[in-house]
């Protein structure tokens, strides 16, 4: 027995010594909480940048030197359609443009980004009656596009195309048939896309995706997740669904899922970027989402303002941003429903560039009512002052200012960014966004095989018990935008009985919502990365565009008559960046920075430094600078439809003779530099509408695309 024991001990020692050194190293020194199956992952590090790409619209029927007329769609006839596409037309993208775009990405930015947000529309529009789209074509172009992503963001010469950089796709309204119409899941489209996007959707998320087309990816494990929202269930033009109010609607279910997941992010100390295809555009005359969905979205962002970093969308083709005002959240007010704002029309299927102008001017009109955020930004800078409590008149003015913005970090407002498209409705465009990675130097990077913790709360929303403890009563809502009646314990209000409470005359009673109300941040939690500069705050972006007029090298005014094309080398170049642009001057992408810029755009009487040029016309006698809004009656100027707003709208008629530099720069970038100088300069309040009526280039804007 003793000999046998010695023999076994020697054999075990010999066997253990034969283990490969590399294998022993993995066992001894694992990355925290992450299973790394491929050694190349260990060499990756965070760069603090990511790519937003949207609306590629590859068209297998595109034909060089074809006609760009409406009834030809660059599929036939003779005309100036270039090798890489026809800019400022209604034509979709040739495969040459998509291939060249991915080649440029691989050679120039792939190795300096951490993840990719791809916000949908990877099939051509259904515009050619002679060549109607088919299910096979839509799915095949999506499969082809997926291959481009896999080839670009996988290790070179890897036959399996295993991703080394995460890609987060989302549905566009043209990624199925018929376009815009997407039914509640599970359905065949969701089953098929589960297979097509299998390399992108984490395995633990696929059950939820099959049910509704939503999921998220932890792009920085344990730190940051990117959510892919299925905005088809919010889209006003989707006739197969009916908003987000009824429990049976997939839009309602989507927000229940989102509430559960964002709460899970909060509990784990994580942050989230929300991404989707159709943006929550909402102006006086145009609306992209059903109002009930917009109301919930704004409320969710308000309640999870400590978690959400920002929102990124596509679909509209023009480069711009939106400001949401939480004062317009009426879903919690008694007697107000989503129908109260039904006067807004959904965006028409086909519009001209003139309608895009109308939409931008509506945004500007809305921003003209944003208070000047400079004093509040100065307060942020002076945060570490003596700390002594100020009293008297100055303290009252300070409190009044804080109420106007929803606190020191402007939490009354929210910002949504819309990226311009690759499809050359204007010029093909890409956006690289930088974000703060301070304190993330040792953070684990994404791996395809990473193990994500799953909590019971993460199960499908239908399995969640919503019968939580219910508070007996909710206080009347006052002017404070923080919804103080929502503070405290988890509030599941599905079964709460209405109880009246005496309050001041004229106060609106809170409505008992027929859904689980998201919990707000704790009173002790600091502002989130969308509001206060910190780790994971988006810092700014660089916009790249491809000047197809120059690259195609085609005589656009004449037919080519079969002549051979001689395109110049394809490349994207910097159009602008928010760090150094002399007009944008964004310190970062926090809400306060965007409010400052939006306020400048909204000035119909800009200051001298914000003028493009001076005019000889005298200023109107009754005009007044927007910065002088410190009257007593200003307390009510946040209310929708207030007398103060009405007065301002009347005064705008007297402010037609000065061109706002910030506004014109915003318009220039919105159309990716494709407007000539005359049209650009006509974007001032006194421009002649007949100029646009007689000179507008027709851009067919399907379902809100601009």
What confidence tens digit (pLDDT) does each residue in 198-255 have? 999 999 999 999 999 999 999 999 999 999 999 999 999 999 999 999 999 999 999 9
Least Cα distance to 369 among 667, 638, 643 occurs for 638
d(CA 118, CA 179): 19
Those residues whose C-beta lies under 8 Å from the C-beta of residue 451, and which sit 6 or more positions away, are 33, 34, 35
Instruction: Check residue 398 and give its pLDDT.
Output: 86
Query: 3-state DSSP helix/strand/coil percent for the chain, to nearest 5?
Result: 35, 10, 55
Query: Tokens representing 565?
Result: 């094309």
Least Cα distance to 52 among 612, 583, 571, 541 occurs for 541
Contact between 199 and 239 (Cβ < 8 Å): no
Interval 144-173 mean pLDDT: 92
Interval 136-140 mean pLDDT: 98
d(CA 430, CA 420): 7
d(CA 326, CA 505): 23
Q: Three-state DSSP class for 262? A: helix
Rounded to a whole number of angstroms, the CA Rg of the chain reads 27
Which DSSP letter does residue 312 get? E
d(CA 672, CA 655): 27
Least Cα distance to 226 among 536, 586, 449 occurs for 536
Instruction: Check residue 43 and give its pLDDT.
Output: 63
Q: Number of helices (H) and strands (E), helices first, in the chain?
A: 17, 14
Instruction: Check residue 332 and give its pLDDT.
Output: 86
pLDDT level of residue 160 (50, 70, 90 thresholds) = confident
pLDDT digits (tens, 9 = 90+) for 4-57: 444 444 444 443 333 333 332 322 233 333 344 444 444 689 999 999 999 999
The proportion of the chain whose per-residue pLDDT surpasses 90, expressed as a percent, equals 60
Start-to-end C-alpha separation, the chain: 86
Instruction: Check residue 203 and give its pLDDT.
Output: 95
Contact between 508 and 639 (Cβ < 8 Å): no
Contact between 290 and 238 (Cβ < 8 Å): no
Instruction: Check residue 361 and give its pLDDT.
Output: 94
Contact between 331 and 299 (Cβ < 8 Å): yes
Is the link from the previous residue into 27 a cis peptide, with omega within 30 of 0?
no
- How many CA atoms within 13 Å lie on the side-chain side of 703? 23
pLDDT level of residue 355 (50, 70, 90 thresholds) = confident
The domains located in the chain, with CATH, are: 49-331+347-385+395-436 (3.60.21), 604-610+644-688 (no CATH)
- How many CA atoms within 13 Å lie on the side-chain side of 134? 7
Which residues share a beta bridge with 417? 312, 321
β 345-346/286-287 pair status? parallel
d(CA 590, CA 605): 25
Instruction: Check residue 6 and give its pLDDT.
Output: 47
Those residues whose C-beta lies under 8 Å from the C-beta of residue 327, and which sit 6 or more positions away, are 412, 481, 638, 639, 640
pLDDT digits (tens, 9 = 90+) for 372-425: 999 999 888 876 454 545 555 678 888 889 999 999 999 999 999 999 999 999
More confident of the two residues 660 and 503: 660
C-alpha dihedral, 642 to 645 to 651 to 655, nearest 10°: 180
Element (H, E) at 215: strand 215-220
Least Cα distance to 508 among 625, 640, 388, 615 occurs for 640
Interval 331-350 mean pLDDT: 51
Backbone angles phi, psi at 272, to 5 degrees: -140, 140
Least Cα distance to 112 among 165, 72, 161, 149 occurs for 165
Least Cα distance to 87 among 351, 418, 317, 355 occurs for 317
Mean of per-residue pLDDT scores for the chain:
79
Whether the predicted pLDDT of 352 surpasses 60? no
């Amino acid at each position: 027995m003793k000999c046998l024991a010695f023999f076994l001990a020697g054999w075990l020692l010999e066997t253990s010594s034969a283990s490969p050194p590399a294998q022993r190293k993995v066992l001894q020194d694992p990355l925290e909480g992450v299973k790394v199956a491929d050694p190349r992952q260990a060499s990756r590090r965070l760069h603090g940048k990511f790519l937003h790409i949207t609306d590629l619209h590859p068209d297998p029927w595109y034909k060089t030197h074809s006609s760009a007329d409406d009834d030809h769609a660059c599929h036939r006839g003779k005309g100036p359609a270039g090798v890489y596409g026809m800019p400022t037309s209604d034509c979709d993208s040739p495969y040459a443009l998509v291939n060249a775009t991915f080649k440029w990405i691989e050679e120039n930015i792939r190795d300096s980004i951490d993840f990719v947000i791809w916000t949908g529309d990877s099939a051509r529009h259904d515009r050619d009656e002679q060549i109607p789209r088919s299910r096979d074509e839509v799915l095949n172009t999506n499969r082809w596009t997926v291959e481009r992503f896999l080839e670009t963001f996988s290790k070179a010469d890897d036959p399996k195309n295993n991703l080394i950089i995460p890609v987060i796709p989302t549905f566009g309204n043209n990624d199925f048939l018929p376009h815009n119409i997407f039914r509640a899941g599970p359905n065949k489209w969701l089953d098929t896309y589960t297979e097509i996007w299998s390399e992108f959707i984490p395995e633990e998320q696929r059950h939820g995706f099959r049910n509704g087309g939503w999921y998220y990816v932890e792009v920085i494990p344990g730190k940051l997740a990117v959510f892919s929202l299925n905005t088809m269930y919010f889209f006003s033009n989707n006739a197969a669904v009916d908003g987000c109010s009824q429990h049976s609607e997939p839009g309602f279910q989507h927000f229940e899922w989102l509430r559960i997941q964002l709460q899970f992010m909060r509990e784990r100390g994580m942050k989230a970027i929300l991404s989707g295809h159709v943006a929550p555009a909402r102006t006086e005359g145009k609306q992209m989402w059903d109002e009930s969905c917009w109301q919930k979205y704004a409320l969710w962002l308000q309640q999870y303002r400590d978690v959400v970093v920002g929102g990124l969308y596509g679909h509209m083709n023009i480069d711009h941003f939106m400001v949401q005002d939480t004062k317009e959240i009426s879903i919690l007010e008694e007697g107000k429903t989503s129908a109260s704002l039904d006067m807004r029309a959904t965006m028409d299927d086909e519009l001209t560039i003139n309608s895009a102008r109308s939409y931008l001017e509506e945004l500007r009109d809305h921003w003209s009512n944003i208070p000047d955020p400079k004093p509040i930004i100065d307060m942020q800078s002076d945060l570490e002052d003596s700390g002594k409590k100020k009293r008297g008149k100055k303290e009252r003015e300070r409190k009044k200012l804080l109420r106007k913005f929803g606190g020191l970090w402007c939490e009354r407002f929210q910002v949504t960014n819309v990226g311009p498209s690759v499809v050359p409705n204007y010029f093909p465009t890409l956006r690289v966004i930088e974000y703060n990675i301070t304190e993330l130097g040792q953070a684990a990077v994404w791996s395809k095989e990473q193990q994500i913790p799953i909590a019971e709360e993460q199960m499908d929303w239908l399995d969640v018990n919503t019968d939580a403890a219910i508070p007996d009563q909710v206080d009347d809502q006052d002017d404070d935008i923080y919804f103080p009646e929502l503070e405290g314990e988890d509030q599941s209000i599905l079964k709460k009985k209405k109880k009246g409470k005496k309050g001041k005359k004229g106060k609106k009673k809170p409505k008992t919502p027929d859904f689980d109300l998201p919990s707000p941040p704790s009173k002790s939690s600091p502002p989130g990365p969308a509001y206060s500069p910190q780790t994971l705050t988006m810092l700014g972006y660089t916009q790249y565009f491809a000047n197809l007029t120059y690259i195609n090298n085609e005589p656009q005014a004449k037919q080519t008559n079969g002549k051979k094309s001689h395109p110049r080398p394809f490349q994207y170049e910097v159009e602008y960046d928010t760090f150094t642009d002399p007009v944008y001057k964004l310190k970062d992408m926090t809400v306060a920075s965007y409010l400052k810029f939006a306020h400048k755009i909204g000035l119909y009487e800009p200051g001298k430094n914000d003028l493009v040029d001076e005019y000889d016309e005298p200023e109107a006698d009754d005009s007044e600078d927007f910065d002088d809004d410190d009257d007593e009656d200003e307390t009510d100027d946040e209310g929708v439809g207030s007398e103060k707003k009405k007065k301002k709208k009347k005064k705008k008629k007297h402010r037609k003779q000065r061109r706002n530099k910030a506004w014109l720069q915003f318009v220039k970038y919105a159309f990716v530099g494709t407007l000539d100088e005359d049209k650009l300069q006509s974007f001032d309040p006194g421009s002649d509408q007949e100029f646009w009526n007689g000179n507008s280039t027709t851009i067919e804007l399907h379902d809100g695309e601009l």
